[in-house]
Structure 1
Amino acid sequence: MSVAIEREEWMLSPLIYGFLLACCFLSVFLHPYFSRSGGAARTTTTASSLFDVGPTAPFLRFQRSFLLLYSLASVMEGLESVVGEYEFAYHGMSRDQMVLVASAGVAVSLVFGTFLGFLSDIIGPRKFCILFCFFHLLVGVLKSVTWQQSMLMSTLFMGIASTVYSFCFETWMVAEHEKQGHRRDLLSDTFWLMTLFESSSLLGSQALANLLTKDLKKGFLLASAPAALLAIISIICIRKEWDGNNQKATVESYQKSFAGHIIADKSIWMLGWAQASVHFSLSVFWILWAPTIVEDGREVQLSHIYPCFLGSRMLGSTAFPWFSGTSALHNEDHNHLIAAFVIAGLVLSIIAYDYQDIGVLVVLFCIFHACIGLISPSLAKLRTMYVPDELRGGMISASLVPANAAFLFVLIIGGYYRRLDNAAIMALAAVGLLSAAGCLHVLRWWRKHLRQNWHEL
């Protein structure tokens, strides 16, 4: 006599999607009212919000064009990352093989990606934006021809492309912003909109990937084709809308400038560590969130949960204007940024410390991503204050070195040799975020007493 075992399934309420979307809209559309009421006594000061009278038509036209291009790049990046997991599983790769392939991609980012930011500053970030699109086009062509032979090369190209993506578009936007003569305080609006559009684009890329991979035998070819098509469109847009960047430097002059302004400045080291901790924690989240949730033993639709995380990041990005510009919550000491790092670190500490119910884990991961949504534009704003524009790409790529090295260590020791459990890896990410909060606290103290900053936003 056989015994039927019923497996319990955990269901996510569809209302959560509407709740996150409503919160995003309320945060965006209520901000102008509160910013005007809070800044009524400062009507004579310069406006510093997208919702004030400040932005001109040329700036809005430039901002919308760039955000459209950045959204296309984000869709490409998200599409390849989502489809890659399906590809490995479909072709029967073992867990150890997946770990080795992922480690190869991180190793390439660590070795070659470190110098790409420097080259971007020397020859111009516009060319590296085109290079990013070219890598996606090349990977799409390789996957269309044969997957088995191109699997490793595609992973290596995607590792380099992800590194280029992390700095080239922000660096290029700031350079074009200055080149066209727009007000510098308007950069803050573009920073949080970049995070908002990136998160929404990643959400759209996941939906598109799920649609294209329903038929696994045909899905991968169909999934690589949109990425290649978007790459071609992006290259055309870049070459048509914006001319070349005239800002170039020699290797010798760049080395002297980088050594004097970046390496010799302890404030940049603090800021770089904060960026590295964010990059490492997101990498750890990407590989551990699904195993952490399914450890409960109940069946769960992971594809229904991940959009909540991206929606939470969108909500966090919409909170950024409330702490900048003419908002009543605006604070020059960046207390909100330190608080976001502390909360994110504590959330990961709770997850690492003990087992939690699926519902609690989903809430904790949503809080973590909301903090990331607030942290990303805040760090970009701090980079504009402390890092010279001509050194921005090199500073960002250099800050990713410790993050990539730590992630490679986690993949090999924890993933391949299995000498680190998931809780220990999550705890490392939590320690990194909490230490970053301490670095920003020191940076705030230095700024208050020494007034070390390049620009005021």
Structure 2
Amino acid sequence: MPIPTQATSDEQPTSLTSAGLRLVFIALLASTGLLYWLARRRALRPGGDDNSERKSGRSWCSLHPLQRRYLIVYVLAMLSDWLQGPYVYALYESYGFDRHQNAGLFVCGFASSMLLGTFIGSLADRCGRKRFCLLYCGLYVLSCLTKHVPSYPVLMLGRLLGGMATSLLFSVFDAWFICEASTTNQTDLIPSTFGMAVALNSITAIVAGVLAQASVSIAPMQAWTPFFNVAGYCSPFDLSIISLLFTAVGIQTTWRENFGAAAAASGTTKNEGGGGGGTQLSWRSLQQWSRGLLQSLRSDRSIIPLGSVQALYEASMYIFVFMWTPALEQANDGAAVSLGLVFACFMTACTAGSQLFRYLSTPSITTRALSSAAILRVVCSAALVSQGIVFMFPYSVWTVLLSFLAFEASVGVYYPSMGTLKAEIVPESHRATIYNLFRVPLNLLVIGALLAKLEVAEAFGVTSLLLALALALSLRITPTTNP
């Protein structure tokens, strides 16, 4: 695969200015507002989707109570994650660790998510999903506390704990909501709720970036004791701990416990109520549960293609996260880029994508709603084109930026469509387990990309290949609702 060469001096791209980025940001805000208006108008006109959008499209107060309980906790959980992101690498650098050591810490986090996170997440179906959402809070609090200690082994332990926590964040929370929606006969709320979750997540990311920046600027980092630092780059992690505590309170006070459908049948004792339930596991019940898991994977031919699409698409997304900054700086002829403005544009594009999903998934008088499987194919196609353009034209800065924005918009459509498909295809009895199994190849691909130390053009060549495979596999997904 040929690597594009740099443009000559006669072909230097127009630089990426703050003024230009502000215009892009305003245009994205206008597009998001227009898509929101179109989606709401389509839902509320006669023939629209009364069962979901009329319940969730008007205002926060008119949302179904289940949606409010889930979204409040979800936003707090995601806030705790977003607060840490901007300053993890900077914190490690401030402790004197070089790029190779930092890469080792990040690889450790993904490996932990793949191995330990998958094992722990698989227990949620049997031991209770609410209980394991609380475990997420505890693990992430401990991970944040390790950031105060300038010791490589302690920071490595923190990455292990953080990897397990993020594995739970991206599996057990969704599994809890889908089970609650199913048991209360509110499955029609799932697509619109996931769409709102993506939009709120994007807004949360922007707010988290502002809060993290403000907390860092209050005071420089200093040693409270020889083994414990405070303030400076540690401050965002302290804010994250506060958010995690609020998350735990919200889970404990507003969520009830739920289990995989097979839990009761295979020897799990449950006592649902305000304090959760008890759990008794036996070797025979574990064998029965494992056989049921294998039978579930074999029973629906769409499960493995769905998991493969998730791994391939999200691996390309993580590679994008690692590479977008060097890609823009390279395309901008080495000049500094207003990364905060670019990030705000990315999140706004993602929000626009979530509104586009609402529009596409809502029927009108004259048109039928697109199925989530069809929307997923459109997403993979758009993402493939956007990443392919960056691979072919890595030195045209505005081309790179607009392609990145298109990719972020596809991410905004991807998450609610994937969440809806997983709700339809993955059996309730092993939902959290299968969600975590989906993340094993994802983490393997990300670890491989980190260890390969790819250049910009090489990285986007790899993401284009991954997305081409995802598009091919998406054609094999034929959803049939599972119990």
Q: Do the aligned residues in 1 keep the contact of 2:372 with 2:417 (CA within 8 Å)? A: no
Aligned-partner SS, 2:475: helix
Aligned with residue 213 of structure 1, among 211, 216, 232: 216
Match of 2:175 in 1: 171
Distance 2:462 2:299 in 1: 28
Distance 2:121 2:214 in 1: 35
Deviation per CA, 1:280-324: give whole Å up to 9, x if none.
Answer: 012101111111111131221222211111111111011111122
Q: Do the aligned residues in 2 keep the contact of 1:59 with 1:182 (CA within 8 Å)? A: no
Aligned with residue 222 of structure 1, among 218, 231, 235: 235
Provide the identity percentage: 22
Distance 1:371 1:347 in 2: 9
Distance 1:405 1:96 in 2: 19
Deviation per CA, 1:31-83: give whole Å up to 9, x if none.
Answer: 2323344xx4x48xx73432369999896122112111100111111112222
The one-letter code of the counterpart of 2:122 is F
1:343 maps to 2:382: yes
Seen in structure 2, the aligned counterparts of structure 1 residues 34 and 325 have a Cα distance that, compared at 3 Å, is closer
1:190 maps to 2:189: no
Match of 1:319 in 2: 356
Match of 2:320 in 1: 285
Deviation per CA, 1:263-295: give whole Å up to 9, x if none.
Answer: 453311111111111220121011111111111
Q: CA RMSD in A?
A: 2.5
Q: Do the aligned residues in 1 keep the contact of 2:44 with 2:54 (CA within 8 Å)? A: no
Q: Do the aligned residues in 2 keep the contact of 1:114 with 1:401 (CA within 8 Å)? A: yes
1:232 maps to 2:232: no
Choose 164-173 or 115-124, whichever is displaced more: 115-124
Deviation per CA, 1:404-452: give whole Å up to 9, x if none.
Answer: 111111211x22xxxx433222222221212111112232xxx4xxxx6
Match of 1:441 in 2: 475
Distance 2:232 2:207 in 1: 17
Match of 1:255 in 2: 290
Distance 2:461 2:247 in 1: 39
1:391 maps to 2:398: no
Seen in structure 2, the aligned counterparts of structure 1 residues 175 and 336 have a Cα distance that, compared at 3 Å, is closer
Deviation per CA, 1:131-170: give whole Å up to 9, x if none.
Answer: 1111221123333465656322222211221211111111
Deviation for aligned residue 1:338: 0.9
1:102 maps to 2:106: yes
Distance 1:321 1:52 in 2: 13
The within-5 A match list for 1:5-24 is: 10-11=17-18, 12-24=20-32
Seen in structure 2, the aligned counterparts of structure 1 residues 440 and 252 have a Cα distance that, compared at 3 Å, is same
1:357 maps to 2:401: no
Distance 1:429 1:381 in 2: 24
4+ residue segments displaced more than 6 Å: 53-59
Distance 1:435 1:410 in 2: 16
Deviation for aligned residue 1:207: 1.4
1:243 maps to 2:256: yes
Distance 2:372 2:64 in 1: 29
Deviation per CA, 1:115-142: give whole Å up to 9, x if none.
Answer: 2332121212211211111122112333
Match of 1:158 in 2: 162
Q: Do the aligned residues in 2 keep the contact of 1:278 with 1:372 (CA within 8 Å)? A: no
Match of 1:423 in 2: 457
1:29 maps to 2:48: no
The within-5 A match list for 1:22-171 is: 22-37=30-45, 40=46, 42=47, 47-51=50-54, 60-144=64-148, 150-171=154-175
Match of 1:5 in 2: none
The within-5 A match list for 1:295-310 is: 295=330, 296-310=333-347
Deviation for aligned residue 1:261: 1.4
The one-letter code of the counterpart of 2:246 is I
Deviation for aligned residue 1:396: 1.6
1:454 maps to 2:481: yes
Aligned-partner SS, 1:298: coil
Seen in structure 2, the aligned counterparts of structure 1 residues 69 and 83 have a Cα distance that, compared at 3 Å, is same
Distance 1:159 1:185 in 2: 32
Higher fraction of helix: 1
Seen in structure 2, the aligned counterparts of structure 1 residues 115 and 131 have a Cα distance that, compared at 3 Å, is same
The one-letter code of the counterpart of 2:17 is W
Seen in structure 2, the aligned counterparts of structure 1 residues 121 and 365 have a Cα distance that, compared at 3 Å, is same
Between Structure 1 and Structure 2, how many residues are aligned?
431
Aligned with residue 370 of structure 2, among 323, 328, 331: 331
Aligned-partner SS, 1:356: coil
Structure 2 length-normalised TM: 0.83
Deviation for aligned residue 1:333: 7.3
Distance 2:109 2:398 in 1: 33
Seen in structure 2, the aligned counterparts of structure 1 residues 304 and 386 have a Cα distance that, compared at 3 Å, is same
